[in-house]
Amino acid sequence: MTPYACAVDFDAVVAIDVHTHVEVDCHGHNAYDDELVSATRDYFRMTDAAAATVDDLAEHYRARRAAAVVFTIDAATATGHPPNSIADLVAGAARNADVLIPFGSVDPLADGAPDRVAEQLALGVRGFKFHPSVQSFEPNDRRYYPIYEAIAAAGVPALFHTGQTGLGSGMPGGHGIKLRYSDPMLLDDVAADFPGLTIVMAHPAVPWVDAQIAIATHKANVYVDLSGYSPKYFPPQLVRALARPLRTKALFGTDHPYVQFDRWQRDFAALDLDPAIAPLVYKENALRVLGVTR
């Protein structure tokens, strides 16, 4: 396949959503097992037929003059569920390179994970997504440092789920998913040990929001994406932090298809924030994370 080559006109788009999921690959395979998919949709009260394939997602964002970072999660070792194809994801992003930016995903527990980083970089991915709770790993365990070394050497960002997760919520035992792996304090070690690695902490990290704000304020290489929650439900200390310490560190993200662009945008506009913050959150901060120069 031809490697992905970004064709997004960053001057023309009004926003960059740094957190969207491709649920179903071109073979109809879902990223999660059926029980988890059903419970997650119930948790997010998803009653509509939200876009799930890469091409549907692209059309959704193209209609809104926005770009989107797209990814799936490889958690095969922890879950026993085969992952969606990264190659198919990248091929789909290449078909829609005017609006989509693909991130890779490697299973940290699998042998040869750093090699998978190199393979996916060769396909053209522009960053990597990790979900410590679903992938069942502690991010600051040094056995995973070769993965970060490979990502840092490539100069692309690593995005880590932090805090509570809708995946497994309300299920017996949370479907075996352990929240402690997504404590943002584990990423403080990684950020300190890899100062050249750009780290994005995904979601308001409930119940560790104060720690998340402190880390992003303390570490120049750490950012926060605001996905997974409607802004009307943001913790109040996070809203206050957006006004000052996080104004250049916060990124627009929805968690599509679980949270929709239009609702997020409407509820963000209702927050009592300086209007000058919006363009930073919606686009300018993301350009810096993605290494885009204009």
**Mean pLDDT, residues 66-93 taken together:** 93
CATH code for the part of the protein at 15-290? 3.20.20.140
- The pLDDT value recorded for residue 36 is 66
Quick one: what percent of the chain has pLDDT higher than 70?
90
Rounded-to-integer distance, Cα 178 and Cα 246, Å: 28
Strand order in the sheet with 15-21: 15-21, 66-71, 100-102
Of 27-31, 96-100, 245-249, give the lowest mean pLDDT range.
27-31
Whole-number average pLDDT of the chain: 92
Q: For residue 193, how many other CB atoms are within 10 A of its CB?
A: 13
The pLDDT tens digits of the residues spanning 30-66 come to: 666 666 666 566 666 666 655 468 999 999 999 999 9
- Report the range of poorest mean pLDDT among 165-169, 172-176, 224-228: 165-169
What is the distance, to the nearest Å, from the Cα of residue 147 to the centroid of all Cα atoms in its chain?
Answer: 17
Q: What is the pTM of this model?
A: 0.94
- Taking CB atoms within 8 Å and a gap of at least 24, the contacts of 141-148 are 144/108, 144/113, 145/193, 145/194, 146/113, 146/114, 147/106, 147/108, 147/113, 147/114, 147/117, 148/190, 148/194, 148/197
DSSP 156-199: --EEEE-S--STTTTSGGGGG--GGGG-THHHHHHHHH-TTS-E
Q: 24-38, 208-222, 261-275: which range is least confident on average? A: 24-38
How far is it, in rounded angstroms, from Cα 102 to Cα 68? 8
Q: What proportion of the chain, given as a percentage, has pLDDT over 90?
A: 80
Confidence of residue 145 (pLDDT cuts 50, 70, 90): very high
pLDDT in tens, 106-136: 999 999 999 999 999 999 999 999 999 999 9
**Can you give the pLDDT at residue 33?**
60
| Domain layout of the chain by residue ranges | 15-290
Higher per-residue pLDDT: 201 or 175? 201
In the predicted structure, residue 168 carries a pLDDT above the cut 80: no
